[in-house]
Structure 1
Amino acid sequence: MINQLSWKVGGQQGEGIESTGEIFSIALNRMGYYLYGYRHFSSRIKGGHTNNKIRVSTKEVRSISDDLDILVAFDQETIDLNYKELHDNGVIMADTKFNPQQPEDTKASLYAVPFTEIATELGTSLMKNMVAIGATSAVLDLDIHVFEEVVNEIFGKKGQQVVDKNMEAIRSGFEYMKEKLGGSIETMHLEKADGQKRLFMIGNDAIAMGALAGGCRFMAAYPITPASEIMEYLIKKLPALGGAVIQTEDEIAAATMAIGANYGGARALTASSGPGLSLKMEAIGLAGMTETPIVIVDTQRGGPSTGLPTKQEQSDLMAMIYGTHGEIPKIVMAPSTVEEAFYDTAEAFNLAEEYQCPVIVLSDLQLSLGKQTVEPLSLDKVEIRRGKLVQEELPEINGYFKRYEVTEDGVSPRSIPGQKYGIHHVTGVEHAETGKPSESAANRIAQMDKRFRKIENLKFDTPVYKNAPHEEADLLIVGFNSTRGAIEEAIERLEKDGLKVNHAHVRLIYPFPSDDIQPLIESAKKVAVIENNATGQLANIMKMNVASAHKLVKILKYDGNPFLPHEVYSKCKELF
């Protein structure tokens, strides 16, 4: 019996690889297992190698596993590219259609299974992925009836005959593999799960749900990997709530439309990735100057330029903080789990209105597209706060409303178009309290100081996630976004080796939470900063904001792949 399993299916893009993993993982999630899935895919619609690696466990997991138990291969390339992840007792199930060859340097068992042939005999070769699910069930000794509900949900609209044929394909694959095995792989039997019902979702869906919960009723965006799912989700959901999504002609239009909607009093969102954020920068500066709330989601991917559009990277930190010309206050948040992505996105709308500035929710491809088990989300934890938006009748005044009034806390009263006595100028040039353009040196200093006072005392519940049980630690590991799972597993192994290790995961990139990080650095002998980029952007930001920077060591990975737990472990181990 095993309490954890790593399973991967691979082939050419467009062969149904994603749906194979989807059906397999949804069924196991409903049985009560925890899952974590990560897709490797090419930046094209069809063709090119793709795979879906899914980790199944009886306890919570937040990263891809180091090794692999089962590899389902629809072509030889899948074997050649992925077999080294298999441990000695691993299993390769490969389609006989391509005459699979087992690499000489692996002890994993290769089973040639006629996925395509069985599917064709049942009516169509397209069902080969269902045959593969059946064969996997045999290796794991799963009851194939666990797939009936999922198959019915996915294929039910096509009629009962299609549902029955797909279940027959699963059954045929199960029976073929069962006979082939002859009961020889007892170690692949999974321990029984707890049967609890949990969500199974990607981070982008959680971000979209968080926007809905946070009162967002308008989104303007242009499709881009890996952010498109946010728009796709809201296209389906916002109309029912009286909201709308507009697919714009480009990212510049998306940002300015969102600014206009926010200026009109709606809570509005735009989302993109690195190249799109570059185009939005001038508009973000406009939001900063006009003190218009706006929430922007950046799902990081490999750059620069088109770079690696479907691969993992965390290289947008500096751009998100310093990308705009001139200087404006802004807030940059970085959730580290799917749950945090939901709650932080909802909170982003509150912060945007309370501090009247751009709020960037920073994600990365692994967090945004990695599908995982999530505990039930609670709307009771979400509140709506609208800051100094004047929602009652404004007092009668002669002249213009002081929209940009210089205040002690830096936040000015805010009216929306149509409010009586709320009229004011709005312009992207420097302006006085009523919005009227002004190039006065004294006014410039007063307005700049006012804008930056807003975030001096920013209130954010958990700017740093801390797991710091040691008053004096041998090592402090720091990360952000999706590296959290790999770091947590690495720490378990380092602690078993006798090292005292603390962990800090930065959830507020800007303004940087120096007061939260500094004591942890001071109490550690060494500090390892884990990030998916080539220059150590988080480490450099830390050096700008904390003392004892000489302790910092950068552990970097920028080949387009996420960190694995053993990589974090081995690199940290080398420090001692």
Structure 2
Amino acid sequence: MSVDFNIKVGGEAGQGLQTIGQILSKTFLRGGFHVFGTQFYLSRIRGGHNYYQARISDNPIKAITEDVNLLIALDKASIDKHFDELSGGVVLVDKDKVKVDNDDKSIFHVPFTKIAEDVGGKIYTNTVAVGAALGLLCYNFDMLKEVLNDTFSKKGDEIVNKNIEAASSGYNYAQENYEGKCHYELESPGSSQKRMLITGNEAVALGALASGIKFISAYPMTPSTGVLNYIAANADRFGVVAEQAEDEISALNMSIGASFAGARSMVTTSGGGFSLMVEAVGLSGITETPVVIFLGQRPGPATGLPTMTEQGDLEFVLHAAQGEFPRCVFAPKTPEDAFYLTSKAFNMADKYQTPAFIMSDQYLADSEFTCEKFDASKISIERHLLTESNEAEQDKEYKRYKFTSSGISPRALPGQFSSLVVADSDEHDEYGHIDQTIDNRIKINEKRLNKLEGLKMEMSEPEIYGSDSADITLIGWGSTYGTLTETVDILRNKGVDINLVQFNEVYPLPESVKNILNKACSSDLICVENNATGQFSRVLKVETGVSVTGHVLKYDGKPFTPRYIIHELESKGVLQ
């Protein structure tokens, strides 16, 4: 029988929800399950209602669902808010600490705190809760012992043993006191294949390291900070300089300077921070200095909802900075996609000497996905720098911005050859010297814009999921991929003729996109986006002339679920 099981851990900030959720997720992963974990948290150090949700299956999963099978409630609000989500499930709660008005038989009391104090102190309360949850599921306790040992090994044997004892006590309490011993019998698939549990941020960081990044700068900003943290933690091993700048303006200017000197460079930010970077984006554009910009989206404007998710910055990124110059924009679908797309972003930035954007969002950035091991051998580092052999073919005086039909000029690094490298943020001639004449302005501006044609030819076509042609076609971009593929699977199993066209390389769009969309859809073309105005559908209209027939939009700070999308399609009359 196929397993599809959902655990939600609810409580206040500061109660260790993420620790409980991650230990449970790693335990199920070790047993051979596929795990998808996501969290909802408020922008505060303590208090408020937060939760961590883990979905466990013996099949690959990349989306959350709304039903809950097991709720670990660390406060009363968790029961009040999530009890109605239970689907034949159980609530684990310490009634000695949490006042429970509901006397439903599905609420099972476990004295987390008392058991923890008997073991060694309140600090072990969460470990007791983890053990009780697994006891209720009759899951192999040895798997949990291994995870606890890995998690706490750096703190010494005593801490490891105390955590194992606390977990065992919780496990035994649930087994001995729950009517019928087990509510579920969750048997491990026993797969020997090792998989990763990885966030989108970690995947981008790994992709950057595999791509030869040598400089990263940022001013920390949720949800992008995880990329900076991961690279900084491994900076010495990979020879990377990681700089926490005083502000976002400095961060991007630092990366542009490092790139000008020859280092592969990257900045990380979110929408509010990117607002401060905009002038420097223009500097990258006019000096034709490559840089990769990772932008983790969250709801705006201003501070908005700093810990929630949205896809609201696409048009901002496309039009940021004064004037007109080329750029390319990537929006990863999954962590695996993020790993390889990050490499492509670096290569495209170097080849076309332009800013390259990686657009993620809080949902992809922070969620934990089960992935197979990434293949670093598939990544190539393509710098596209002037070499000694072709430098000899250049004019005696080096033309940094030489006019070419492709718009790509030979790029040398300062001090690389005897030639002087000149760059200026004012309009300039082929040599890099200021030139404000009308003829030069027209010619060099057209040179830069000519790169768009080459960029279009190198951008990949969208993925078609499902049949090549269908009555209903969903269009998505970026992190909505997992939810949309599951939506298509559910509806196809019900006999609905539906498919999905998903974009992960969103600008510039290849010329073939118009024909792909016309072929994929015979009736309803529905764009699904985490924003209020249908930004990507407007990009499609401008770039290809294709108009969608409808939208499913969500902008409350929470990600899509298949149930939500299906309900919206029904309410709009798309599904009969």
The TM-score range, normalised by the shorter chain, is over 0.9
2:199 aligned with 1:194: no
Structure 1 segment 77-476 matched on structure 2, within 5 A: 77-87=77-87, 89-101=88-100, 103=102, 109-183=106-180, 185-190=182-187, 192-390=189-387, 392=389, 394-395=391-392, 400-458=397-455, 459-460=457-458, 462-471=460-469, 473-476=470-473
Moved more, 338-347 or 397-406: 397-406
Candidates 560, 565, 568, aligned match of 2:565: 568
3-state SS of 1:231 partner: helix
- Displacement, 1:385? 1.1
3-state SS of 1:457 partner: helix
- Displacement, 1:425? 2.3
Candidates 529, 537, 540, aligned match of 2:538: 540
Preserved CA contact (<8 Å) 2:136 2:184: no
Preserved CA contact (<8 Å) 2:34 2:59: yes
Preserved CA contact (<8 Å) 2:32 2:188: no
1:275-322 Cα offsets, whole Å, 9 max, x none, are: 111111110111011000100100101111000000011101001101
Preserved CA contact (<8 Å) 2:514 2:545: no
Distance 2:515 2:57 in 1: 36
- Displacement, 1:527? 0.8
Preserved CA contact (<8 Å) 2:249 2:276: yes
- Specify the alignment match of 1:47 in structure 2: 47
- Specify the alignment match of 2:17 in structure 1: 17
Preserved CA contact (<8 Å) 1:58 1:194: no
Distance 1:83 1:249 in 2: 45
1:334-389 Cα offsets, whole Å, 9 max, x none, are: 11010010000011111111111000011111111101111110011101112243
Runs of 4+ in 1 over 6 A off after TM superposition: 396-399
**What letter corresponds to residue 126 of structure 1 in structure 2?**
I
- Aligned residues between the structures: 571
Residues 1:70 and 1:394: Cα distance change in structure 2 (over 3 Å): same
Residues 1:324 and 1:190: Cα distance change in structure 2 (over 3 Å): farther
- Displacement, 1:102? 5.3
Residues 1:193 and 1:537: Cα distance change in structure 2 (over 3 Å): farther
- Displacement, 1:445? 1.3
3-state SS of 2:436 partner: coil
3-state SS of 1:430 partner: coil
Residues 1:548 and 1:209: Cα distance change in structure 2 (over 3 Å): closer
Preserved CA contact (<8 Å) 1:8 1:52: yes
TM-score, normalised to structure 1, is 0.95
1:105-152 Cα offsets, whole Å, 9 max, x none, are: xx7711111111111121211211111111111121112111122211
Preserved CA contact (<8 Å) 1:2 1:189: no
Distance 2:507 2:270 in 1: 18
3-state SS of 2:268 partner: strand
1:150-195 Cα offsets, whole Å, 9 max, x none, are: 2112222222121111111111111111122232655453462423
**What letter corresponds to residue 211 of structure 1 in structure 2?**
A
Moved more, 57-66 or 190-199: 190-199
Preserved CA contact (<8 Å) 1:6 1:55: yes
Residues 1:130 and 1:402: Cα distance change in structure 2 (over 3 Å): same
Preserved CA contact (<8 Å) 1:76 1:98: no
Preserved CA contact (<8 Å) 2:287 2:423: yes
Distance 1:287 1:41 in 2: 35
Distance 1:16 1:31 in 2: 23
- Specify the alignment match of 1:76 in structure 2: 76
3-state SS of 2:152 partner: helix
Moved more, 127-136 or 380-389: 380-389
1:207-231 Cα offsets, whole Å, 9 max, x none, are: 0000011110111111110011111
- Specify the alignment match of 2:62 in structure 1: 62
Distance 2:172 2:362 in 1: 38
Moved more, 311-320 or 539-548: 539-548
Residues 1:295 and 1:108: Cα distance change in structure 2 (over 3 Å): farther
3-state SS of 1:205 partner: helix
TM-score, normalised to structure 2, is 0.95
Moved more, 23-32 or 373-382: 23-32
**What letter corresponds to residue 37 of structure 1 in structure 2?**
G
- Displacement, 1:396? 8.4
Distance 1:477 1:514 in 2: 20
Distance 2:42 2:219 in 1: 20
- RMSD between superposed Cα atoms in Å: 1.8
3-state SS of 1:96 partner: coil
Candidates 497, 504, 508, aligned match of 1:500: 497
Distance 1:228 1:76 in 2: 32
Distance 2:144 2:466 in 1: 42
**What letter corresponds to residue 4 of structure 1 in structure 2?**
D
- Displacement, 1:41? 0.8
3-state SS of 2:267 partner: strand
- Specify the alignment match of 2:34 in structure 1: 34
- Displacement, 1:103? 4.6
3-state SS of 1:150 partner: helix
Distance 1:461 1:283 in 2: 25
Preserved CA contact (<8 Å) 1:11 1:49: yes
Distance 2:179 2:302 in 1: 53
Distance 1:498 1:108 in 2: 38
Distance 1:138 1:398 in 2: 76
Distance 1:571 1:397 in 2: 60
Moved more, 248-257 or 538-547: 538-547
**What letter corresponds to residue 575 of structure 1 in structure 2?**
V
Preserved CA contact (<8 Å) 1:3 1:190: no
1:83-103 Cα offsets, whole Å, 9 max, x none, are: 22211x111111123344255
**What letter corresponds to residue 77 of structure 1 in structure 2?**
A
Preserved CA contact (<8 Å) 1:464 1:513: no
Distance 1:130 1:444 in 2: 66
3-state SS of 1:329 partner: coil
Candidates 466, 470, 486, aligned match of 2:483: 486
**What letter corresponds to residue 14 of structure 2 in structure 1?**
G
Distance 2:389 2:12 in 1: 59
| Gapped regions of structure 2 (runs ≥ 5) | none
Preserved CA contact (<8 Å) 2:260 2:289: yes
Distance 1:145 1:295 in 2: 44
3-state SS of 2:153 partner: helix
- Displacement, 1:269? 0.7
Distance 1:94 1:350 in 2: 52
Candidates 523, 529, 532, aligned match of 1:531: 529
**What letter corresponds to residue 140 of structure 1 in structure 2?**
L
